[in-house]
């Protein structure tokens, strides 16, 4: 049998999906599993936009232009301009989701032996995207005690070395739900300008900010037009993850030229997805207002329930739909597996993402988990009943015993 590549042997497993087999097994045994591991919202994709795709009745599903369907790009430009951004059509590049957008930025802007700085906990796939591009990640650890606020600017500056090409942040943040202030974004921008490096901002959760939190896009940084690139997507905003449509917005012509070269290899982003995305731009603002209210309620339920659990440390996230909590356990990987394989409460259990996979630094996040509040409040409450019970009966020694068993 031929060998697979050495490259693939070192590749990490997604913390979000790696327990899928245990979850399938739990279901096969008749348990009801509450899936709080993955950022797949249960919110409906706007029906009016789906209807427009059906009405389009395309006789051939052709390749789209590599840069994206021009009518879609033009409407996006108009939307940016109507919000006061100095964006033209040529500044927008349509991609296969934000996932491809980030990979293209890395390919276009960072060489194989160079590094990017990312606050952690981080969106786990950044690690995989960096591996694809052979780019090193220099993590800066944010802390649960201040709700995972952006680390001090001094920490970023201290991490910059001669091989640093960019700072990458996610705002609002996955996995922490932190929303970074206008002042923090401006300060980070100034640092990038001072050191002549890029600032990449993943803004896929920009539509989801709660309470007093306000989203501040890095596209406001006009003085930094050559340094800033943002990525966005229809996946979360319109609960259209399967459309696979995202974008890069950047005012640096050289970066866009380089992106175009790489993007031409993959021909185009999905044509039908772009037809849907164009229709999504017509969706009434009330859709997002209602979705925001729904997420706010879920966030409140989750925060309240977690705050009442003994030994659980958490904070009230300001955006996105995640909370990154600390549990009274010693090994979240083991605990999350145990939840699926050995635990049930009234025939039910839950699936969470273990925290360690959201850190680039080894050994961090071992007692932390990410919860995605992608289920309605009733189900969330039931899932929290399970978690509360699980924490009550889970003895740390279970993990130790299991580790000892492995060694035997
Ligand atoms: C922070 C962040 N960036 C990018 C993505 C990928 O988005 P897309 O579906 O547009 O590829 C996700 C998906 O969960 C995400 O959470």
Q: pLDDT-based confidence at 107, cuts 50/70/90?
A: very high
Residues 152 and 265 both lie in one domain:
yes
Q: Kindly state whether residues 84 and 195 are assigned to the same domain.
A: yes
Residues 209, 240, single domain; the answer is yes
Tokens of 244: 């696979």
Sheet holding 368-372, edge to edge: 322-326, 368-372, 353-354
Cα–ligand 1 centroid distance for 97 (angstroms): 7
Q: Indicate which CATH number applies to the domain containing 290.
A: 3.90.1150.10
Last residue within a domain, chosen from 252, 280, 308: 280
- Provide the β-strand partners of residue 310: none
Distance 99 CA to ligand 1 centre (A): 6
Q: Is residue 115 situated within a structural domain?
A: yes
Does the Cβ of 97 fall within 6 Å of ligand 1?
yes
Average pLDDT taken over every residue of the chain: 94
Please indicate whether residue 202, judged by its CB atom, sits closer than 6 Å to ligand 1: yes
Q: How much distance in Å is there from the Cα of 125 to the middle of ligand 1?
A: 8
Write down the pLDDT at residue 34: 96
CA of 332 to the centre of ligand 1 (A): 23
Q: What number does the ligand 1 atom closest to the CA of 173 have?
A: 1
Domain boundary among 280, 304, 319: 280
**Residue 57 Cα distances to 60, 61, 174, 263, angstroms:** 9, 10, 37, 27
- Tell me: the pLDDT tens digits for 26-76? 999 999 999 999 878 889 999 999 999 999 989 999 999 999 999 999 999
Ligand 1 atom nearest residue 233's Cα: 10
CA 121 – ligand 1 centroid, Å: 15
pLDDT band at 404; cut points 50, 70, 90: low
Q: Taking the CB of residue 13, how many other CB atoms lie within 10 A of it?
A: 11
* 405: confidence class by pLDDT, cuts 50, 70, 90: low
Sign (positive or negative) of CA dihedral 160, 162, 164, 167: positive
Contacts 24+ apart (CB under 8 A), 82-91: 85/217, 85/219, 85/220, 86/222, 86/225, 86/251, 87/219, 87/249, 87/251, 90/253, 90/256, 91/249, 91/250, 91/251, 91/256
Query: Is residue 16 included in any domain, yes or no?
Result: yes
Regarding whether 300 and 271 lie in a shared domain, the answer is no
Ligand 1: does its nearest atom lie under 6 Å from the Cβ of 170? yes
Residues 98, 229, single domain; the answer is yes
pLDDT, residue 403, reads 56
Q: What are phi and psi of 245, to 5 degrees?
A: -125, 125
37: Cβ below 6 Å to ligand 1?
no
Is residue 93 within 8 Å of 68, Cβ to Cβ?
Answer: yes
Token digits of residue 36: 């709080």
**Domain annotation covers residue 138:** yes
Residues 338 and 254 placed together within one structural domain of the fold: no
Is the Cβ atom of 174 under 6 angstroms away from ligand 1?
A: yes
pLDDT in tens, 392-401: 998 765 555 5
SS3 283: coil
pLDDT score for 5: 86
235 CA → ligand 1 middle, Å = 7
To the nearest 10 degrees (0 to 180), the angle between helices 125-132 and 97-109 is 40
Task: Supply the CATH number for residue 212's domain.
Answer: 3.40.640.10
Supply the range of the domain harboring residue 232. Answer: 47-280
Say whether both 35 and 88 belong to one domain: no
Mean pLDDT of 187-212: 97
Measured in angstroms, how far is the CA atom of residue 39 from the centroid of ligand 1?
A: 8
| pLDDT value, residue 6 | 83
- Residue minimizing CA distance to atom 1 of ligand 1: 174
39 lines ligand 1 (CB under 6 A): yes
pLDDT number for residue 408: 44
- Indicate whether 150 pLDDT > 90: yes
Residue carrying structure tokens 């696979």: 244
**Is the residue at 185 inside a domain?**
yes
Phi and psi dihedrals of 189, rounded to 5?
-60, -45
- Assess whether 307 and 186 both reside in one domain: no
Res 407: pLDDT: 47
Transcribe 90-116 into DSSP letters: GGEEEESHHHHHHHHHHHHH--TT-EE
Among 251, 280, 309, the domain boundary falls at 280
How is the beta sheet containing 136-141 ordered, strand by strand? 92-95, 246-250, 228-233, 198-202, 164-170, 115-120, 136-141
For residues 75 and 143, state if they share a domain: yes
Share of the chain above pLDDT 90, in %: 89
pLDDT of residue 11: 74
| Cβ(151) – ligand 1 distance below 6 Å | no
Calculate how far, in angstroms, residue 14's C-alpha sits from the geometric centre of ligand 1: 13
pLDDT at 39: 79
Mean pLDDT value across residues 150-169? 98
Ligand 1 atom with least separation from CA of 320: 16
Q: What is the pLDDT of residue 28?
A: 94
Ligand 1 binding pocket mutation candidate from 127, 174, 239 (most atoms within 8 A of CB): 174
CB 233 near ligand 1, within 6 Å: yes
Phi then psi dihedrals of residue 365, to 5 deg: 80, 10
Residue 1 included in any domain: no
> Quick check: is 298 in a domain?
yes
Nearest residue to 202 via CA among 268, 246, 163, 147: 246
Would you say the CB of residue 98 lies under 6 angstroms from ligand 1? yes
Q: Are 238 and 49 in contact (CB under 8 A)?
A: yes
Distance 21 CA to ligand 1 centre (A): 23
Q: Count of domains in the chain?
A: 2
Percent of the chain with pLDDT over 70: 96
Mean pLDDT across 173-183: 97
CA of 100 to the centre of ligand 1 (A): 9
Q: Is there a single domain that holds both residue 20 and residue 103? A: no
């Amino acid at each position: 049998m031929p060998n697979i590549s050495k490259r693939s042997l070192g590749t990490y497993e997604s913390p979000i999906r790696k327990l899928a087999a245990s979850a399938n097994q739990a279901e096969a045994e008749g348990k009801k599993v509450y899936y709080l591991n993955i950022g797949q919202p249960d919110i409906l994709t706007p029906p009016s936009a789906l209807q427009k795709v059906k009405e389009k009745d395309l006789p051939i599903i052709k390749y789209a232009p590599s840069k994206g369907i021009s009518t879609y790009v033009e409407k996006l430009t108009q939307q940016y301009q109507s919000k006061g951004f100095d964006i033209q059509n040529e500044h927008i590049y349509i991609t296969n989701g934000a996932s491809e957008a980030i990979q293209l930025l890395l390919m276009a802007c960072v060489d194989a032996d160079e590094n990017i700085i990312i606050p952690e906990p981080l969106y786990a796939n950044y690690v995989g995207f960096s591996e694809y591009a052979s780019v090193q990640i220099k993590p800066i650890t944010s802390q649960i005690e201040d709700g995972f606020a952006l680390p001090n600017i001094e920490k970023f500056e201290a991490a910059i070395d001669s091989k640093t090409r960019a700072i990458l942040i996610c705002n609002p943040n996955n996995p922490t739900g932190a929303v970074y202030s206008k002042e923090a974004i401006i300060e980070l921008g100034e640092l990038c300008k001072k050191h002549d490096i890029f600032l990449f901002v993943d803004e896929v959760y920009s539509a989801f900010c709660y309470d007093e939190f306000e989203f501040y896009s890095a596209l406001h940084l006009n003085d930094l037009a050559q340094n800033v690139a943002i990525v966005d997507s229809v996946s979360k905003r319109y609960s259209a993850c399967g459309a696979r449509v995202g974008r890069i917005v950047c005012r640096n012509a050289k970066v866009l030229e380089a992106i175009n070269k790489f993007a031409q290899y993959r021909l185009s982003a999905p044509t039908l997805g772009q037809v849907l995305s164009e229709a999504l731009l017509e969706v009434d603002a009330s859709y997002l207002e209602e979705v925001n209210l729904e997420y706010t309620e879920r966030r409140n339920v989750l925060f309240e329930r977690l705050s009442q659990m003994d030994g659980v440390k958490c904070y009230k996230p300001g955006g996105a739909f995640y909370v990154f909590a600390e549990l009274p356990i010693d090994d979240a990987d083991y605990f999350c597996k145990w939840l699926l394989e050995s635990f049930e409460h009234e025939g039910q259990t839950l699936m969470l993402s273990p925290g360690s996979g959201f850190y680039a630094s080894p050994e961090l996040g071992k007692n932390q988990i990410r919860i995605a509040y992608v289920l309605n409040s009733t189900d969330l409450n039931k899932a929290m009943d399970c978690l509360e019970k699980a924490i009550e009966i889970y003895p740390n020694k279970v993990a130790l015993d299991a580790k000892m068993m492995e060694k035997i």
